């Protein structure tokens, strides 16, 4: 079912999903696998529509459109491993607990609400949905209204694939999101910005609903001296400028050792030409800014610093050239907020400790990138900074390893997902202990007189 809905319709829909959940169907392993396979088939069927929709919403090149469809690789991974994850997980017990047995029994939470952003508008709804279904839940989806074409494709896909009691989609903007948030869901999975993340968490608190918040922030990219410059530059440019910089884990800014800066800048300038030509506005491989509001915000960030490449824009086309910015200070607006667009400030450091201190003075980032082959440098950065994820000598790729949790820390979010981490996020990991009755020693029961010494020994005191 899909609808743009007032509160009463949303309440009815939730009741319908609760009733469906109560039938026990969604938690049946065969049903879950069938649903995941149907979802896979639907994505394959809709792939051209998905790619066309993200082109319409974001001017996304076809190649980058496939990042959305690529969510099927996660689906395949989940389908392959679900049997194992859904099983009881045996827990070990100390000898003193003999003859008990214990295990963790994953169980679904109920009905999950999944709210998505506009930048990867298909993938960031479907990827959490995979986890919700795999764990045996029902799900209600609310894609971003700021990617309307993709929202429409998602609505069609969901309608044609799922029983609305199992998975339903509600289209709409802030009012619809707030109507949904007023309901007592069993889990809320939110991907978006920090400001709305706080609103979601406040709403969830009213019902004590657990939340996963996948937020953003400024992800630094440290470039040290021991690097393969050519490869590093290719990877930085790709990670920063794909989807015109509108990627939550894009390198937000470069923090380069001052000895390397001149060579890095030259190589970055050349690389931009290699990728997007002399006129990136005409490149078929370069996306556009999602809407006028984001466009104006980004343009205002260009008021400070020196442009080393790009810096031009076209309002009518919502085009901003891939831009390198020099002479930027931490107090400039471009360094005060998540950029989320095709502007790459280049800052320098003399000592690695200075770069680390600069990062640690700011909110913990969603991702941190380090280009260095020096293992001591790698260890120092890993040990002395905190981030949701780190990729050494590349960008973005950590997000495609289904065995790695994906999430933020501190202001960049809470909770994580992907692969088994999604399964666990959408599960209650229920602890079970089983005790036989044939043995029942009296040591714990009142009257306690004469039992304290024995109990002290039992808990490890002499």
Active site residues: 214, 248
Among 99, 173, 284, 436, binds ligand NAD (CB under 6 A): 173
Smallest separation (angstroms) from ligand NAD to the CB of 141: 10
Residue 338 near residue 252, CB atoms below 8 Å? yes
Q: What is the largest CA-CA distance in the chain?
A: 88
- DSSP per position, 378-404: HHHHHHH---SEEEESSSSGGGG-TTS
Closer of 250 and 308 to ligand NAD (Cβ) = 250
Compute the distance between CA of residue 190 and CA of residue 210 in angstroms, rounded to an integer: 11
Closer of 264 and 343 to ligand NAD (Cβ) = 343
By CB under 6 A, tell whether 117 contacts ligand NAD: yes
Considering only residues 200 to 229 of the shown chain, the ones binding ligand NAD according to CB under 6 A are 214-216
Among 196, 229, 382, 392, binds ligand NAD (CB under 6 A): 196
By CB under 6 A, tell whether 116 contacts ligand NAD: yes
Compute the distance between CA of residue 265 and CA of residue 363 in angstroms, rounded to an integer: 27
Closest residue (Cβ) to ligand NAD? 216
From residue 54, alpha-carbon distances to 60, 66, 193, 228 in Å are 6, 10, 20, 34
By CB under 6 A, tell whether 409 contacts ligand NAD: no
**Omega cis (within 30) before 447:** yes
Q: How many CB atoms are closer than 10 A to CB 35?
A: 23
Smallest separation (angstroms) from ligand NAD to the CB of 341: 11
Considering only residues 272 to 311 of the shown chain, the ones binding ligand NAD according to CB under 6 A are none
Closer of 7 and 380 to ligand NAD (Cβ) = 7
Binding part of the chain for ligand NAD, among 69-77, 189-197, 297-305, 356-364 by CB under 6 A, reads 189-197
Which string of b and e fits 420-438 if b means at least 16 CB within 10 Å? bbbbbbbbbeeeeeeeeee
Closer of 32 and 187 to ligand NAD (Cβ) = 187
Residues in the interface with ligand NAD (CB under 6 A) total 29
**Omega cis (within 30) before 310:** no
- Summarize as ranges the residues that interact with ligand NAD (CB under 6 A): 115-119, 124, 142, 144-146, 173-174, 177-178, 181, 191-193, 196, 199, 214-216, 248, 338, 340, 366, 408, 413
């Amino acid at each position: 079912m899909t609808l743009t809905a007032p509160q009463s319709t949303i309440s009815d829909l939730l009741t319908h999903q609760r009733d469906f959940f109560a039938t026990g169907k969604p938690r049946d392993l065969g049903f879950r696998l069938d649903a995941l396979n149907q979802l896979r088939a639907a994505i394959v069927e809709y792939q051209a529509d998905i790619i066309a929709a993200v082109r319409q919403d974001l001017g996304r090149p076809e190649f980058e459109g496939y990042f959305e469809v690529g969510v099927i690789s996660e689906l395949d991974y989940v389908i392959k491993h679900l049997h194992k994850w859904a099983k009881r997980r045996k827990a070990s017990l100390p000898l003193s607990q003999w003859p008990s047995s214990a295990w963790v029994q994953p169980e679904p939470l109920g009905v999950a609400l999944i709210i998505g952003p506009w930048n990867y508008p298909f993938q960031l709804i479907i990827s959490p949905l995979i986890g919700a279904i795999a764990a045996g839940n029902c799900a209600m989806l609310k894609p971003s209204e700021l990617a309307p074409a993709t929202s429409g494709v998602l609505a069609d896909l969901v309608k044609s694939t799922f029983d609305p009691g199992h998975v339903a989609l509600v289209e709409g903007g802030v009012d619809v999101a707030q109507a949904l948030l007023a309901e007592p869901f069993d889990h809320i999975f939110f991907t978006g910005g920090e400001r709305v993340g706080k609103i979601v968490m406040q709403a969830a608190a009213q019902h004590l609903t657990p939340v996963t918040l996948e937020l953003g922030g400024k992800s630094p990219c440290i470039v040290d001296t021991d690097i393969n410059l050519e490869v590093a530059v290719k990877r930085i440019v790709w990670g920063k400028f794909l989807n015109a910089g509108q990627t939550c884990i894009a390198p937000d800014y470069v923090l380069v050792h001052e000895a390397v800066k001149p060579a890095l800048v030259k190589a970055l300038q050349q690389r931009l030409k290699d990728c997007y030509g002399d006129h990136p506005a005409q490149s078929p491989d370069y996306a556009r800014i999602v809407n006028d509001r984001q466009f104006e915000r980004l343009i205002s960030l260009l008021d400070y610093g020196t442009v080393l490449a790009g810096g031009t824009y076209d309002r009518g086309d919502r085009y901003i050239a891939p831009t390198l910015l020099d002479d930027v200070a931490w107090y400039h607006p471009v360094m005060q907020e998540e950029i989320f667009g095709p502007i790459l400030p280049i800052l320098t450091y003399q000592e690695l400790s200075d770069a680390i201190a600069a990062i640690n003075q700011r909110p913990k980032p969603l991702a941190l990138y380090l280009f260095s082959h020096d293992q001591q440098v790698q260890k120092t950065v890993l040990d002395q900074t905190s981030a949701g994820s780190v990729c050494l000598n590349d960008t973005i790729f950590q997000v495609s390893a289904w065995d790695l949790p994906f999430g933020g820390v501190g202001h960049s979010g809470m909770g994580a997902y992907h692969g088994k981490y999604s399964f666990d996020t959408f599960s209650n990991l229920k602890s079970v202990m089983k005790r036989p009755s044939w043995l029942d020693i009296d040591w714990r029961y009142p009257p306690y007189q004469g039992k304290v010494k024995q109990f002290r020994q039992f808990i490890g005191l002499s």
